[in-house]
């Protein structure tokens, strides 16, 4: 438990980032963990362009939105005997972190920095502070070797912090241009999720349209795992977050089995897609796992989901097991059509009517919504009526789905008890694993993957590329064999109609019910439900057995591709 001051300063004076931080032994050991690079970037390489690209959907609209970038080829780094001439010269590069944290972000920045140090001597790296707002307000700092060092292989985004602003309006684009000109930027790396990479592409298009030299490269970041495609096999942070959650799930499984009297209901971060829940299930083998995409595809109701859980609890009781573990994605209720309908109606009623104590207002609900509302536990009913966001809307995100399910399962089990079909005690314990996973120390996989993503982004900028997303592939092979390149962001885009206009979007990658990870899960879940096949992954290890494992989702998806 020795705490180490990482620099001689030892904590005096105002804190310049982590230069004066106090580190645990594990943090210190991670600082000096050396990161392997794919062999293609270790020697001289050149960039080879692929065929012209199209779009994921509506290519005509995408072409209209990105007249300068549409159709551009993706790029692949290939080894060459001699350093290519176009790679000479120093660069001025900016980097920005956008959106929620994901373990490994600091290593992307380290990768860019080291690329510039190694391959473009005399370059400067600026970090924009607090997300895209830092670009618009030209709030930045120069990132030096000394400043970056304490963040290597560390969790969090606090090196330059992040933000959720978007560069959208003509004024905001103008501000970004001014910043690029003021700093004489050759390039900008945007580290973010689907929205941020869409934004990166719009910025690239805009700079190109204005004949500015600044180029823009994106990097795939999100613990949710919903930004991926063939060329970008995974987003960084997903691996670490899932392993942190799986450690905790494994522990409560052992708890469940030891005490023999609790059902642990675990809600896991991940609103739009259920990748985290699926991966954690594959790592730990819980008795019950609800995947939002399946609920949506089968058009299940909340009652269906409740009955599904209750049925398994009753079957387990017959086998003598009055305990278990249930995984639920944070966004579950967003996947249930009837809940969406109820919430839409509630928003309408709450905006225009008085909620009378006698409950007359309920008559304004449709029959189906009225039934659903009455089915909900009282605490949830109150939450729906009382807690609203600044726009007056129901705050769906605040609903503690795991507690709601426990309450509904209790009610259903009481009913079955009175009918004589269940005779045991049910004790639910609720858990939410979210913030704990976003900022952990990155796994060896995320640390290495991020470093390669950053290094690749540097190489792409250096060779004059813009509007690409850094792409590192062949991730189940040894690091030396990883492929490195960039994929045209426009080739991943489709359009959505919003307020009568076409907006470009990078489609979120949902859990595919025909994909290898879900199919694997579906083939074993019945056994997991009734037999106890729990696995306890244990804490993330940085050395020794298990320390270089790749998560199941990535392994299964890449295996299925091969």
Strand partners, 140: 128
By C-beta, is 12 or 363 nearer to a second copy?
12
Calpha distance 96→135 (Å, rounded): 8
Asked if residue 398 belongs to a known ligand binding site, the reply is: no
By C-beta, is 205 or 402 nearer to a second copy?
402
Asked if residue 292 belongs to a known ligand binding site, the reply is: no
By C-beta, is 200 or 550 nearer to a second copy?
550
Calpha distance 378→214 (Å, rounded): 56
- Binding mask 342-381 toward a second copy (x if CB under 8 A, else -) reads ----------------------------------------
Asked if residue 142 belongs to a known ligand binding site, the reply is: no
Which residues in the 410-469 window bind a second copy by CB under 8 A? 429, 431, 435-441
Calpha distance 8→5 (Å, rounded): 7
CA-CA-CA-CA torsion sign (265, 271, 277, 280): negative
Question: 229 — phi, psi (to 5°)?
Answer: -160, -175
Of the candidates 543, 559, 560, 561, which one interacts with a second copy according to CB under 8 A? 543
Asked if residue 169 belongs to a known ligand binding site, the reply is: no
Asked if residue 115 belongs to a known ligand binding site, the reply is: no
Calpha distance 299→338 (Å, rounded): 9
Asked if residue 411 belongs to a known ligand binding site, the reply is: no
Indicate the Cα dihedral angle 357, 359, 360, 363, nearest 10°: 150
Nearest to residue 73, comparing CAs of 100, 53, 59, 99?
Answer: 53
**Does 22 engage in binding with a second copy (CB under 8 A)?**
yes
Cα-to-chain-centroid distance, residue 289 = 20
- Binding mask 246-275 toward a second copy (x if CB under 8 A, else -) reads -xx-xxxxxx-xxxx-x-x-----------
Name the one range near a second copy by CB under 8 A: 19-27, 110-118, 328-336, 454-462: 19-27
Classified as helix, coil or strand, 379 is: helix
**Does 221 engage in binding with a second copy (CB under 8 A)?**
no
Q: Work out how close the CB of 281 gets to a second copy at its nearest, in angstroms, rounded to a whole number.
A: 12
Calpha distance 116→455 (Å, rounded): 8
By C-beta, is 51 or 544 nearer to a second copy?
544
Q: Work out how close the CB of 28 gets to a second copy at its nearest, in angstroms, rounded to a whole number.
A: 7
Of the candidates 283, 287, 306, 322, which one interacts with a second copy according to CB under 8 A? 283
- Tokens standing for residue 374: 């009455």
By C-beta, is 285 or 465 nearer to a second copy?
285
- Tokens standing for residue 83: 């350093």
Q: Work out how close the CB of 106 gets to a second copy at its nearest, in angstroms, rounded to a whole number.
A: 10
Q: Work out how close the CB of 457 gets to a second copy at its nearest, in angstroms, rounded to a whole number.
A: 21
Asked if residue 261 belongs to a known ligand binding site, the reply is: yes
**Does 9 engage in binding with a second copy (CB under 8 A)?**
no
The CB-side HSE value for 498 (13 A sphere, CA atoms) comes to 6
Q: Do 339 and 333 contact (CB within 8 A), yes or no? A: yes
Catalytic site includes residue 311? no
Classified as helix, coil or strand, 227 is: coil
By C-beta, is 250 or 270 nearer to a second copy?
250
Q: Work out how close the CB of 128 gets to a second copy at its nearest, in angstroms, rounded to a whole number.
A: 15
Calpha distance 113→454 (Å, rounded): 8
Question: 439 — phi, psi (to 5°)?
Answer: -125, 20
**Does 141 engage in binding with a second copy (CB under 8 A)?**
no
By C-beta, is 186 or 330 nearer to a second copy?
330
Calpha distance 502→62 (Å, rounded): 9
Calpha distance 487→159 (Å, rounded): 27
- If you ran DSSP here, which 8-state letter would residue 205 be given? H
Which residues in the 483-542 window bind a second copy by CB under 8 A? 531-542
The CB-side HSE value for 225 (13 A sphere, CA atoms) comes to 27
By C-beta, is 157 or 449 nearer to a second copy?
157
Question: 293 — phi, psi (to 5°)?
Answer: -65, -35
Of the candidates 19, 29, 362, 516, which one interacts with a second copy according to CB under 8 A? 29
Sheet strands side by side (includes 428-433): 288-289, 324-329, 263-268, 428-433
Which residues in the 146-205 window bind a second copy by CB under 8 A? 154-158, 161-162
Q: Work out how close the CB of 545 gets to a second copy at its nearest, in angstroms, rounded to a whole number.
A: 4
Of the candidates 101, 179, 199, 274, which one interacts with a second copy according to CB under 8 A? 101
Q: Of 114, 165, 186, 224, which one is the catalytic site residue?
A: 224
**Does 383 engage in binding with a second copy (CB under 8 A)?**
no
How many residues touch a second copy under the rule CB under 8 A: the total is 71
Calpha distance 118→479 (Å, rounded): 19
Asked if residue 269 belongs to a known ligand binding site, the reply is: yes
Of the candidates 367, 514, 545, 562, which one interacts with a second copy according to CB under 8 A? 545
Angle value at C-alpha 41, between 37 and 42, nearest 5 degrees:
70
Name the one range near a second copy by CB under 8 A: 62-70, 113-121, 244-252, 456-464: 244-252
Angle value at C-alpha 436, between 435 and 442, nearest 5 degrees:
110
Indicate the Cα dihedral angle 368, 374, 375, 376, nearest 10°: 110
What is the 3-state composition of the chain as percent helix, strand, coil, each rounded to the nearest 5?
45, 15, 40
**Does 16 engage in binding with a second copy (CB under 8 A)?**
no
Asked if residue 406 belongs to a known ligand binding site, the reply is: no
Classified as helix, coil or strand, 106 is: helix
Calpha distance 533→279 (Å, rounded): 16
Q: Work out how close the CB of 105 gets to a second copy at its nearest, in angstroms, rounded to a whole number.
A: 9
Asked if residue 222 belongs to a known ligand binding site, the reply is: yes
Q: Work out how close the CB of 392 gets to a second copy at its nearest, in angstroms, rounded to a whole number.
A: 19
Helix segments in 18-166, DSSP class H: 25-31, 59-65, 105-119, 132-136, 145-148
By C-beta, is 255 or 307 nearer to a second copy?
255
Q: Work out how close the CB of 2 gets to a second copy at its nearest, in angstroms, rounded to a whole number.
A: 7
By C-beta, is 369 or 383 nearer to a second copy?
383
Catalytic residue positions?
224
Residue ranges of the annotated binding site for diphosphate are 100
Q: Which residues are annotated as a binding site for Mg(2+)?
A: 194
Q: Which parts are annotated binding residues for substrate?
A: 222-224, 261-262, 269-271, 330, 435-438
- Would you list which residues are annotated within the binding site? 100, 194, 222-224, 261-262, 269-271, 330, 435-438
């Amino acid at each position: 438990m020795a705490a180490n001051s990482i620099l001689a300063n030892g904590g005096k004076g105002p804190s310049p980032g982590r230069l004066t931080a106090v580190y645990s032994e594990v943090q210190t050991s991670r600082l000096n963990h050396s990161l392997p690079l794919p062999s293609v970037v270790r020697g001289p390489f050149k960039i080879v362009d692929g065929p012209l690209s199209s779009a994921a959907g509506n290519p005509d609209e995408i072409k209209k939105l990105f007249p300068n970038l549409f159709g551009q080829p993706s790029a692949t780094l290939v080894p060459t005997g001699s350093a290519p001439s176009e790679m000479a010269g120093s660069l001025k590069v900016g980097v920005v972190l956008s959106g929620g944290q994901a373990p490994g972000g600091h290593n992307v920045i380290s990768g860019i920095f080291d690329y510039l140090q190694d391959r473009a001597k005399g370059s400067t790296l600026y970090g924009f502070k607090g997300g895209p707002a830092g670009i618009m307000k030209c709030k930045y700092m120069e990132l030096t070797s000394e400043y970056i060092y304490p963040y290597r292989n560390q969790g969090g985004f606090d090196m330059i912090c992040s933000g959720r602003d978007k560069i959208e309006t003509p004024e905001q684009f103008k501000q970004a241009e001014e910043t690029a000109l003021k700093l004489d930027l050759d390039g900008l790396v945007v580290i973010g999720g689907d929205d941020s990479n869409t934004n990166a592409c719009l910025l690239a298009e805009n700079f190109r349209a204005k004949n500015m030299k600044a180029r823009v490269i994106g990097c795939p970041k999100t613990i949710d795992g919903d930004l991926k495609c063939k060329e970008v096999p995974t987003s960084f942070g997903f691996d670490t977050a899932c392993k942190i959650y799986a450690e905790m799930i494994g522990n409560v499984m052992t708890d469940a089995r030891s005490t023999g009297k609790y059902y642990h209901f675990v809600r896991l971060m991940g609103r739009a897609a259920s990748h985290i829940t699926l991966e954690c299930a594959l790592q730990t083998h819980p008795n019950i796992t609800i995947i939002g995409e399946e609920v949506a595809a089968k058009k299940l109701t909340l009652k269906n989901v409740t009955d599904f859980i209750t049925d398994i609890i009753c079957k387990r009781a017959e086998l003598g097991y009055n305990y278990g573990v249930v995984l639920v994605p944070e966004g579950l209720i967003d996947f249930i059509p009837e809940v969406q309908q109820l919430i839409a109606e509630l928003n309408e009623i709450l905006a225009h009517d008085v909620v009378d104590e006698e409950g007359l207002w309920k008559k304004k609900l449709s029959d189906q919504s009225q039934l659903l509302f009455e089915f909900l536990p009282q605490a949830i009913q109150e939450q729906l009526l009382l807690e609203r966001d600044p726009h007056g809307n129901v705050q769906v995100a605040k609903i503690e789905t795991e507690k709601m399910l426990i309450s509904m399962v209790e009610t259903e089990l009481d009913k079955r008890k009175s009918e004589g079909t269940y005779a045991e005690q049910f004790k639910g314990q609720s858990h939410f694993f979210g913030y704990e996973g976003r900022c952990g120390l990155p796994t060896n996989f995320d640390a290495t993957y991020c470093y390669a993503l950053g290094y690749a982004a540097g190489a792409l900028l250096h060779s004059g590329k813009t509007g690409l997303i850094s792409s590192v592939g062949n991730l189940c092979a040894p690091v030396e064999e990883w492929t490195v390149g960039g994929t045209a962001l426009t080739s991943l885009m489709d359009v959505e109609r919003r307020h009568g206009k076409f907006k470009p979007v990078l489609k979120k990658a949902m859990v595919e019910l025909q994909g290898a990870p879900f199919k694997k899960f579906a083939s074993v879940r019945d056994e997991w439900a009734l037999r106890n096949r729990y696995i306890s992954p244990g804490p993330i290890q940085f050395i020794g057995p298990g320390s270089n494992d790749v998560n199941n989702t990535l392994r299964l998806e890449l295996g299925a591709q091969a």
